[in-house]
Amino acid sequence: MKQRRYWFFSAIVVVMLFLQACSTGGNDNGSTSEEENTENEGGTLRIVTMSDATSLDPQFITNIPSANFIYQKVYENLVTFDEDMEIVPNLASEWEQLDDVTWEFTLEEGITFHDGEPFNAEAVKVTLDRLLDPETGSPQRDKVSMIKEVVVVDDTTVQLILNEPYAPLLSILASQETSILSPKSVQENPDSLSDTPVGTGPFVFESWNSGQSISLSKNEDYWGEPAKVDEVIFEITPESTTRLAMVETGEAHISDNVPVTELNRVESSDQVNLIQREGLGVEYIGFNTGQTPFDDVNLRKAVSHAIEREAIINGIYEGTGTVATSAMSPSVFGFSDNVKPFEYDINEAESLLESSQFDKGSSVTLVTSDRQERINMAEVIQSQLKGIGVEVDIQVLEYGAYIEAMDSGEFDMFIGGWGNATGDGDYNQYNLFHTNSFGSAGNHFYYSNPEVDSLIEEARQESDDQRRLEIYEQTQKIELEEDAVYVPIRNSEQMAVSNNDVHNFWLSPTNYIMINEATVE
């Protein structure tokens, strides 16, 4: 059956039941009237953000902050998510599933990349072939490993032939990993994509001043509805109080990563609006199960029982977000109420510690990024674990160094999070827990369990949603209740702030700031 503009992938329906956007202190997600929209076209939109990009190549980006600079701004996809997480057309106008393993996409016509190259079926093939090529070395390759072949039928028709059925295909095609790249860049200088992105989107990349700013300009030849602002400047500003002050004074329009310590300040200000969105991500304490001392499951269980999670939510996050029960948010397809984390129980923690190979009083390293909430969380964990005889050495790293440490496995424990980009459990399970995803692909637990691998692969091929839910419940029970791979802490709540001079942007559940229709006064 043909799939058109208001068709959406069945698994995403579950996500829609949970996602609601709201804001306080001003505009609803930054929106204004159509009349204001017209009057305020032009100008420069300034966004202050905590972290610099680690790369601008979608096939090598492994974190949301880096993707936020270019996703649906410089680059576009065959399909995309709208504000309600429905899958809608983007570079493909329609699609049809011909059989269990064959998907056909009809492409929009008359589109050019920012370098003048035509967008067509060949561009799709070049993009996906590069991602699938093992020699490319993309950490995102396994996310599309179900694609056997990309077939160019004609300029406006492309087929994806899969190795086996893959239920959430459309959701991964809407994610930043499958952004469509300029074939000229891929073929002539693929290394340049890491710092010079070339796509079809409403904004053209201008410059990246590492550690300082990333600049985009309006694409005057954009094939769709053109952007309203002339320029977007992302300023890298690690200090949260500085970012907030810049929004308050009008030096910037939007800031991401609002620390909970500043919520009272935001809510009492007439100049600043708080935008909140229930997220798809989960924050957790992770163990490096691939090396001592946390290759010992009894030690992992002991630490799990010693963490008082509610105290962290209430004391550090001031009640924003909710206590997590697994690494899968309630807003993600695959979540189960039947998966139970270890309860806070000091006596059980001490008993398990005695059963482990760990020498009481020895130390372990806990790595965290330099977000203030996570530093505070690390200090609470340090105090809690000291109570059972585990000394914790905290290592606070700048975000880029933190990512490098995670990818190289240079830690014992870490405070991390997974911002599910598709709303589907496969994005969570395969990337976080499959053996093939060690390191930069997402499995920073360095966890390998053949039974879990097999179940995750089975779920990928299963077309029956109820059966997929049962499989994901089973995998999560093994990962959490049997193997104690991590300690779930918090279901995320996305927050950003804006001043009264910016309108018509929105914050996605994955924490992307969507600015294609944004206007500034």
Return the minimum-mean-pLDDT range out of 90-99, 267-276, 289-298, 378-387.
267-276
Instruction: Please compute the mean of the pLDDT values over residues 339-347 and round it to a whole number.
Output: 97
pLDDT at residue 18 above 50? Answer: no
Which of these, 444, 420, 313, 282, lies nearest to 367 by C-alpha position? 444
Residues β-bridged to residue 413: 287, 366
Q: Looking at the predicted structure, is the pLDDT value of residue 228 above 90? A: yes
Is residue 367 pLDDT above 70, yes or no?
yes
Q: Is the pLDDT of residue 19 over 50?
A: no
- Report the percentage of the chain scoring pLDDT > 90: 82
Strands 147-154 and 157-162: antiparallel
pLDDT for the residue 27: 38
Predicted pLDDT of residue 4: 35
Q: What are the φ and ψ backbone dihedral angles of 359, each rounded to 5 degrees?
A: -85, 115
> Could you read off the pLDDT of 115-140 as tens digits, one per residue?
999 999 999 999 999 999 999 999 99
Specify the pLDDT at position 330. 94
- At 13 the pLDDT is 34
**278-493 maps to which CATH number?**
3.10.105.10
**Which tokens belong to 42?**
């032009």
pLDDT of residue 17: 36
* Residue 33: pLDDT band with limits 50, 70, 90: very low
Taking the model in full, what pTM does it have? Answer: 0.82
Name the pLDDT band for 22 (thresholds 50, 70, 90): very low
Instruction: Locate 417 and state its tokens.
Output: 């999070």
Q: Which of 218-222, 255-259, 377-381 has the lowest mean pLDDT?
A: 255-259
pLDDT, tens digit (0-9, with 9 covering 90-100), for 47-68:
999 999 999 999 999 899 999 9
Would you say 488 and 324 are in contact if contact means Cβ atoms under 8 Å apart? Answer: yes
Q: Which helix (H) or strand (E) holds 369?
A: strand 363-369
pLDDT confidence of residue 47:
98
Is 188's pLDDT higher than 70? yes
Q: How many Cβ atoms from other residues are within 10 Å of residue 223's Cβ?
A: 17
CA–CA distance, 329 with 313 (Å, rounded to integer):
15
For the chain, how many residues are written? 521
What integer pLDDT is reported at residue 39 of this predicted model? 59
Q: DSSP string spanning 122-154?
A: HHHHHHHHHHH-GGG--TTGGGGTTEEEEEEEE
* Residue 145 per-residue DSSP state: T
Of 32-36, 113-117, 233-237, 391-395, which range is least confident? 32-36
With a cut of 50, say whether residue 369 has pLDDT above it.
Answer: yes
For the structural domain made of 75-197, what CATH number should be given? 3.90.76.10
pLDDT exceeds cutoff 60 at 30: no
| CA pair distance 180, 186, nearest whole angstrom | 11
Q: What is the fold of 23-53+201-271+500-521?
A: D-Maltodextrin-Binding Protein; domain 2 (3.40.190)
Task: For residue range 345-366, list pLDDT tens digits in order.
Answer: 999 999 999 999 999 989 999 9
Beta bridge partners, 318, equal none
Structural contact between residues 326 and 476, judged by C-beta atoms closer than 8 angstroms = yes
pLDDT value at position 320? 82
* Per-residue pLDDT reduced to its tens digit, 389-413: 999 999 999 988 999 999 999 899 9
Q: Which pair of structure tokens corresponds to residue 166? A: 């893959």
Please report which confidence band the pLDDT of residue 344 belongs to, taking 50, 70 and 90 as the band edges. Answer: very high
Average pLDDT along the chain: 91
Residue 31 has pLDDT above 60, yes or no: no
Work out the number of other CB atoms within 10 angstroms of the CB of residue 139. 19
Spans of all domains in the chain: 23-53+201-271+500-521, 75-197, 278-493
Query: How would residue 463 be classed by pLDDT, with cut points 50, 70 and 90?
Result: confident
